Amino acid sequence: MVALIGLLVVFASVIGGFLLEKGNIYVLLQPAEVLIIGGAAMGTLVVANPPSVLKRILRGVAAVFKGSHYSKEFFLSNLKMLYELFSHARKHGLDKLEQDVEEPEKSAIFSQYPGFLKDHHAVKFVCDTLRVGVAGGVDPLELEQLMDLDLEVHHQEANTPVTSLTTVADSLPGLGIVAAVLGVVITMGSLGGPPEEIGHKVAAALVGTFMGILLCYGVFNPLAHAIAKRNAIEAQYYHALKVGILAFMRGAPPIMAVEFARRAIPTDFRPTFQEMENVCKGRTALAAAEAK
């Protein structure tokens, strides 16, 4: 919602300033320019990216407009989940987590945290890591290397849409010039006609350049940066999960392992130690926090 408001402010400011200078709004309505610039931009996007990347771009843009689900309550919920996992493993043995990691949707622990289960990569990341731990014979250093590999691959995939959108954004001013040149070509063919007609065609050509620059710096570049920032928060979330699991695998008590994870949470969303302890020990109603 915030992203949508931002885009509305961009267009309202640009068009509002144009109208304040007594500009004719109908001059900006040039369907041919929109077709040339928009069609060429979408075409280059399709040419340069496989279907899997195009799907990620659509999901990334949708997530930007939907808004981030990362909050202090979200991280508190995940800290409590880790605490319950670690406490269960410490009490009954790590091998008792086998059923939970094999079928997380049916797990008595994971099923209490629908927000976690919605993130399929987080589920696979945690369950695959614990599965290796349950199998045994893996040094914590090797386990860390496995998690780093997983996170590196996910980071590269998550940032592919950012690179693609940035590339399209960089091409938009050039495509605007293409539209403007075509407009000039049409104008040259009308020389000798009424001055009003020539002026209209010149204005239409200039609108192409205007649209290309506006879409570049006012829409596509901001969207790419918004996706990148969302990916950065997501990466910090996975890093917190990694730190907590590693701390437990190295022998830290459940509450201390969760404290390691808490310290890895971005400060904008990081709960205090007392908030974390209260939630983990059941002194607050986590259900109310998750409902926010």
Residues 245-287 have pLDDT tens digits of 999 999 999 999 999 999 999 999 999 999 999 998 875 544 4
Task: State the pLDDT at residue 186.
Answer: 84
**Least reliable range by pLDDT among 68-77, 194-203, 227-236:** 194-203
Task: State the pLDDT at residue 290.
Answer: 46
pLDDT tens figures, 51-95: 999 999 999 999 998 888 899 999 999 999 999 999 999 998 888
Secondary structure of 91-143 in the HEC alphabet? HHCHHHHHHHHHCHHHCCCHHHCHHHHHCHHHHHHHHHHHHHHHHCCCCHHHH
Q: What percent of the chain stands above pLDDT 70?
A: 97
pLDDT tens figures, 200-221: 788 888 888 999 999 999 999 9
- The burial of 176, by beta-carbon neighbours within 10 Å (0-12 exposed, 13-18 middle, 19 or more buried), is given as buried
- Arithmetic mean of pLDDT over the chain: 89
pLDDT, average across residues 105-128: 92
Task: State the pLDDT at residue 276.
Answer: 94
pLDDT tens figures, 15-38: 999 899 888 888 888 888 889 999
